[in-house]
Amino acid sequence: MLNPNQDRLEYSQILSAPEGYQLDFAVGTTYSLDLDALVGACISLGLSEETDSDLMRNPICLLEALRATGDKLALFCQGGQIHLPSKVTSLYVLLEHMVYQVSCTRKNDVKGYPSFHPKFWLLRYLNSKKEPVYRVAVLSRNLTFDRSWDVSFYMNGKLTQTETDKNQPVIDFLDYLIGDRAAERLPKEKKRKVRQMMKELPFIAFDPACREFQDFEFLPTGIRGGAGFRTIQDTQLFRFFGQNGAKEGLHETFIMSPFVSNDVIKFFNERNSVRAGRKSPFWAGRKQPILAG
């Protein structure tokens, strides 16, 4: 399923605009943030160049990249998790207008303190005719220079005349971000851009455009949506509908996660054993991937 020698994505490839389009607005999220990595992302967003391009060492090009993306980017990260660069220049002052720290509210019925942990991008591009193309990207790595393995996926979507509720979880997530979650309030113009995205998303049809996935669901856990807080049980992907020829849900599960609790392992074990009629094999451990069959 995973072939790192062939199936590779660069951050610049994920963020750069499609041919004939330019960035209109982008919402990004990360737990921890390296400001140098953010500068590299701005080069991809504003200039469609590689994140490790020589432009990183050209102050004029850096200024242009930061100027071009300053009003077009809202990046949310966990409060207190911004890593300062080793060499700070005056150009980094421009980054202050892109980054918004999030403080999660502790729930009385949950042990410990929650963290803001999504690695997600929603980007809106426009062509010369002002026709929008959306891109959604989900990653497993923060916006840092960490050299750990990363799993990433992105897909594009176009505006249609048909309304769908498939993107409602993303709308709920955006609503969460521009609500009371940001310690530093978004400027009115950026909030207007996000609300424009929320208004268009019911008419955006995303296409995985690959043979590995025929369908998808968005599941931003831990935020309000529908009747209450969204959880992993809100998706049909991990449910079974019966035995003896009845319709089933999943047939194979492949999960990669750095942090896994016993409750989550039990959740998937029970569902996999329903299909197989036995306990499913698991390779599990904290800070290790989980492979479920």
pTM of the model: 0.81
Go through the domains of the chain in sequence order and give each one's CATH number: 11-229 (3.30.870.10), 236-292 (no CATH)
List strand residue ranges (DSSP E) for the chain, in order.
22-30, 33-34, 73-78, 82-83, 99-102, 120-126, 132-139, 152-159, 204-207, 224-225, 228-229, 253-255, 282-283, 290-292
Is 75 within 8 Å of 32 (Cβ atoms)?
A: no
Better-scored residue on pLDDT, 134 or 68 = 134
- Residue that is written with structure tokens 């009629």 in the block: 277
Residue 192: pLDDT over 90: yes
pLDDT for 259-270, tens place per residue? 777 887 777 777
DSSP secondary structure of 251-273: S-EEE--S---HHHHHHHHHHHH
pLDDT for 111-148, tens place per residue? 667 788 899 999 999 999 999 999 999 988 899 888 77
